[in-house]
Amino acid sequence: MNAAAMLASAAGFQHYLYQSIPMSRAMQVTVVEVTDERAILSAPLGPNINHLGTVFGGSACALATLSAWSLLQCRLQPLLPAASLVLQSSSMNYQRPIAAGFTAHAQLAPDASWARFLRTLERRGRARITATAQLFAGAEQVAHFAGEFVVLSEAPGRSAAARLLPGSQ
């Protein structure tokens, strides 16, 4: 199965995650939904438990990071399959301990512009964009994540990103 086909469904994207980021399998991450607008991933308490019987903070941060990365990877893969997407910096704020399975809901940050991001990527061959994620235990929000991601296109200059911008033919 090629990468584009894998990314076309939640089950395919989950398979892609398990192959690309083995920690996601160990955490038993489930891809609930991945679209251009949002990514929702979940994980059970069991493999992510700490010594106090709640979710290990690193697991919560990992799920939030994975959800934001998944959102961006899903958007980028069809446009720039050779692009490299990495996390540059992040912050995580916890409101309370998580004592059950948990879900991360990722979206672009409110001030993030996808069009500006693509223009910068085309012009410089690299660009930054911020994605956020809210963690929930049931319906209760329990944490917030913000991450700045860096993307390197396949080559600086005239790349596939140019084909995405109006009037750049």
Query: pLDDT by residue (tens digit) across 126-155?
Result: 999 999 999 999 999 999 999 999 999 864
How open is the CA angle 116-121-125, to the nearest 5 degrees?
160
| pLDDT higher than threshold 90 for residue 56 | yes
Average pLDDT over residues 13-25: 95
Domains contained in the chain, number: 1
DSSP string, 7-51: HTSHHHHHHHHHHH-THHHHTT-EEEEE-SS-EEEEE-SGGGB-T
Task: Identify each DSSP E strand in the chain by its residue range.
Answer: 30-34, 39-43, 84-94, 102-108, 126-137, 140-152
Task: Check which CATH number belongs to the domain holding 127 and give it.
Answer: 3.10.129.10
- Token representation of residue 58: 């690193």
Residue labelled with tokens 């010594």: 51
pTM comes to 0.87
**Range of the structural domain that residue 70 is part of:** 3-164
Query: Tokens 């693509």 belong to which residue?
Result: 118
Is 169 within the bounds of a domain?
A: no
Residue carrying the six token digits 């949002």: 38
Q: Take residue 76 and report the two structure tokens written for it.
A: 């980028």
Least confident window among 29-43, 80-94, 143-157: 143-157
Burial of 106: CB neighbours in 10 Å, binned 0-12, 13-18, 19+: buried
Closest CA to 71 of 43, 121, 106, 100: 106
Supply 42's token pair. Answer: 């979940």
C-alpha 162/C-alpha 100 separation (Å) is 45
For the chain, what is the mean pLDDT? 89
Q: Is residue 66 part of a domain?
A: yes
Task: Kindly state whether residue 25 falls inside one of the protein's structural domains.
Answer: yes
In sequence order, what are the beta bridge partners of 141? 136
pLDDT digits (tens, 9 = 90+) for 70-83: 999 999 989 888 89
> Is residue 141 one of the residues assigned to a domain?
yes
